[in-house]
């Protein structure tokens, strides 16, 4: 395989040429509002290019290794997989619904969804209360929560308990709702998210109706070896209506070592009193992964999010949640396991922007070999967000002299009636604890395994769904065993 090499000044031109080629192929195939959205996103990306370490949010992570490579979008391909191949990869076995994407494109034959058709659209059973999606334009929203006062949402145009589709099919079938949400949950100055908007060709869309328990839904993104460096930009949208509940697992896995650049974006909208358990896992050895997850939370909504990074040449997730409705709460757990030459970065932001909101954040990193784990977390209490209760904690465990952990927890408080705290630690395995275990007959490797697993347990044990928790525990234990076998 011959890899085309770009110089830094032509990297933007490369992605702009991909955008032009795609736009030419898709003339008339997408609604004008989407074409305009894409063009505006590409213009913003072209003005800044890929982010650099001078950007405070990218202080710990350089994309210098990404810029010179002429990554290309996936073409038509033979998948060569069947549902039996997925079993060891699934994080939500027994899920009510699953969408599977291979190299960025929906693979209907690997999906499981209510009435999933060949066009990639799953349709749930009718719901007497309708789907919780308001078509009100964001600019006309007097509450700041997408047209939904705390009393609940307006009636939607389509009534079904659970709607699940590939991104392109959802735009065709539900254009008004897609136009209402796409890009509306992201903040300004997001270059990799702009690149995603410009070049996205697929992704998952989930609408859950008011008062509906959608159960477990898994979104599986597989990357396989390709003849040329692969670029994929999945665009996901998750919308939960008032009083609804769902467990969503977003699972990014590389089969082998793939030369790929994945740039996924997931936008999430939680209606009043909605509850979402969200878990994102990335394990893509040899690949680049720059993900953006943006959440908007309505009144009294509950979000529990787990962000797991188990390996990657460079894997960065930027997670932002906006507590826009009074009484909302967010719990965020992160776990990064870095070894070899892995570079894992978790950047988070929690915006408290309403009365009586609550957040808890716990992020742990275990680093060995020449691995590097980076954490940057910001909790911003906005003016008027009185009675905020926020706590941010980061703990890091280094298992080798060459391992590196960076940590930067930040509180920004612009209100006075608040209760906020933050802290961070970096350390090694406790010698006294190791001695204690050795004195009871364990060898050095067994003692290290027990203490390292115990360090990760608090995050793993916080997964509420027992089926998902068991899958997480198995995957984490397997990865920890690999890390502890690496030369120190």
Tens digit of pLDDT for each residue in 47-79? 999 999 988 899 999 999 999 999 988 776 656
Domain annotation covers residue 81: no
Q: In sequence order, which ranges of 338-465 are alpha helices (DSSP H)?
A: 431-439, 444-460
CA distance 60 to 395: 17
Over 60: is that where the pLDDT of 144 sits? Answer: no
pLDDT tens by residue, 85-137 = 899 999 999 898 999 999 999 999 999 976 444 444 455 443 333 333 222 23
Please enumerate, as own/partner, the contacts of 466-472 that have beta carbons within 8 Å and a separation of 24 or more.
467/92, 467/93, 467/94, 467/216, 468/91, 468/92, 468/216, 468/247, 468/249, 468/279, 471/90, 471/91, 471/92, 471/93, 472/91, 472/279, 472/281, 472/306, 472/308
| Residues 448 and 360: beta-carbon distance below 8 Å | no
Q: Please give the average per-residue pLDDT across 157-166, as a whole number.
A: 77
Q: What element of type H or E holds 246?
A: strand 245-254
Q: Please give the average per-residue pLDDT across 338-366, as a whole number.
A: 98
* 107-136 as b/e: b if 16+ CB within 10 A: beebbbbeebeeebbbbbeebebbbbbbeb
Percent of the chain with pLDDT over 70: 88
Which of helix, strand or coil describes residue 350? Answer: strand
Domain count, the chain: 1
pLDDT tens by residue, 474-487 = 999 999 999 999 88
Q: What is the mean pLDDT of the chain?
A: 88
Per-residue tokens: 147? 């047209």
Q: In sequence order, which ranges of 332-486 are alpha helices (DSSP H)?
A: 431-439, 444-460, 466-484
Residue 145 pLDDT grade (very low, low, confident, very high; cuts 50, 70, 90): very low
Burial class from Cβ neighbours inside 10 Å (0-12, 13-18, 19+) for residue 334 reads: buried
Domain with 419 in it: 8-74+86-484
Closest CA to 191 of 71, 314, 50, 315: 50
| Residues 181 and 205: beta-carbon distance below 8 Å | no
pLDDT of residue 66: 93
How many CA atoms, within 13 angstroms, populate the side-chain half-sphere of residue 33?
11
pLDDT tens by residue, 290-303 = 999 999 999 999 99
Question: For the chain, what percentages of helix, strand and coil (3-state, to nearest 5) are there?
Answer: 25, 35, 40
Burial class from Cβ neighbours inside 10 Å (0-12, 13-18, 19+) for residue 487 reads: exposed
Please enumerate in sequence order all residues whose Cβ is within 8 A of that of 265, keeping only pairs 6 or more positions apart, or say none: 186, 193, 196, 197, 200, 203, 233, 234, 235, 236, 291, 292, 293, 294
Query: E-strand spans in 265-417?
Result: 265-270, 275-297, 302-323, 329-338, 343-352, 358-367, 372-381, 388-398, 404-413
| Residues 302 and 333: beta-carbon distance below 8 Å | no
Domain annotation covers residue 171: yes
| Residues 235 and 78: beta-carbon distance below 8 Å | no
Which of helix, strand or coil describes residue 377? Answer: strand
pLDDT tens by residue, 224-235 = 877 789 999 999
Which letter does DSSP use for residue 76 in this model?
Answer: S
Domain annotation covers residue 3: no
Point out which residues pair with 275 in neighbouring strands: 245, 302
Phi, psi of 341 (to 5 degrees): -105, 20
Domain annotation covers residue 80: no
Phi, psi of 470 (to 5 degrees): -65, -40
Please enumerate in sequence order all residues whose Cβ is within 8 A of that of 432, keeping only pairs 6 or more positions apart, or say none: none
Residue 263 pLDDT grade (very low, low, confident, very high; cuts 50, 70, 90): very high
Q: How many degrees, rounded to 5, is the angle at CA 337 between CA 448 and CA 101?
A: 140
Please enumerate in sequence order all residues whose Cβ is within 8 A of that of 109, keeping only pairs 6 or more positions apart, or say none: 79, 82, 83
Domain annotation covers residue 410: yes
Domain annotation covers residue 124: yes
Q: What is the dihedral of CA 35, 41, 43, 44, to 10 degrees?
A: 160
pLDDT of residue 79: 66
* pTM for the model: 0.90
Domain annotation covers residue 2: no
pLDDT of residue 204: 98
Domain annotation covers residue 79: no
CA distances from 210 to 105, 108, 330, 334, 403 (A): 30, 27, 20, 29, 47
Q: Which range, of 22-36, 151-165, 393-407, averages the lowest pLDDT?
A: 151-165
Residue 149 pLDDT grade (very low, low, confident, very high; cuts 50, 70, 90): very low
């Amino acid at each position: 395989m011959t890899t085309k090499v770009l110089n830094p000044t032509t990297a933007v031109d490369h992605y702009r040429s991909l955008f032009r080629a795609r736009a030419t192929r898709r003339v008339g195939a997408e609604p004008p509002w989407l074409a305009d959205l894409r063009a505006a996103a590409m213009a913003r990306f072209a003005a800044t290019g890929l982010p650099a370490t001078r950007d405070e949010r990218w202080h710990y992570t350089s994309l210098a290794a990404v810029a010179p490579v002429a990554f290309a979008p996936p073409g038509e391909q033979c998948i060569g997989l069947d549902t039996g191949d997925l079993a060891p990869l699934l994080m939500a076995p027994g899920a009510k619904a699953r969408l599977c994407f291979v190299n960025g494109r929906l693979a209907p034959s690997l999906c499981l969804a209510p009435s999933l058709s060949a066009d990639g659209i799953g349709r749930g059973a009718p719901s007497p209360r309708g789907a919780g999606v308001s078509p009100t334009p964001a600019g006309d929203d007097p509450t700041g929560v997408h047209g939904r006062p705390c009393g609940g949402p307006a009636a939607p145009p389509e009534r079904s308990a659970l709607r699940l589709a590939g991104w392109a099919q959802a735009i065709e079938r539900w254009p008004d709702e897609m136009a209402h949400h796409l890009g509306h949950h992201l903040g300004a100055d997001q270059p990799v998210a702009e690149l995603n908007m410009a070049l996205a060709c697929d992704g998952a869309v989930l609408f859950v109706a008011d008062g509906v328990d959608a159960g477990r839904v898994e979104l599986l993104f597989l990357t396989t070896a390709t003849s040329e460096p692969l670029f994929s930009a999945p665009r996901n949208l998750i919308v939960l209506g008032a009083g609804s509940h769902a467990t969503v697992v977003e699972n990014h896995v590389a089969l082998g070592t793939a030369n790929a650049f994945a740039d996924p974006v997931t936008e999430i909208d939680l209606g009043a009193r909605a509850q979402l358990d969200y878990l994102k896992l990335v394990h893509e050895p040899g690949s680049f992964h720059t993900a953006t997850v943006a959440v908007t939370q309505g009144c009294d909504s509950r979000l529990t999010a787990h962000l797991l990074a188990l390996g990657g040449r460079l894997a960065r997730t930027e997670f932002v949640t906006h507590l826009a409705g009074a009484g909302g709460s967010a719990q965020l757990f992160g776990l990064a396991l870095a070894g070899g030459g892995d570079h894992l970065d978790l950047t988070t932001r929690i915006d408290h922007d309403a009365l009586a909101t609550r957040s808890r954040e716990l992020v742990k990193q275990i680093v060995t070999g020449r691995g590097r784990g980076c954490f940057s977390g910001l909790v911003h209490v906005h003016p008027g967000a009185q009675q905020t209760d926020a706590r941010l904690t980061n703990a890091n465990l280094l298992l080798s002299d060459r391992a590196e952990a960076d940590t930067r927890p930040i509180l920004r408080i612009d209100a006075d009636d608040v209760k906020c705290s933050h802290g961070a630690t970096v350390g090694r395995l406790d010698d006294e604890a190791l001695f204690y275990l050795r004195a009871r007959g364990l060898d050095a490797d067994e003692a290290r395994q027990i203490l390292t697993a115990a360090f990760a347990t608090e995050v793993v044990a916080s997964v509420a769904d027992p089926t998902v928790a068991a899958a997480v525990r198995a995957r984490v234990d397997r990865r920890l065993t690999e890390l502890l076998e690496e030369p120190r």
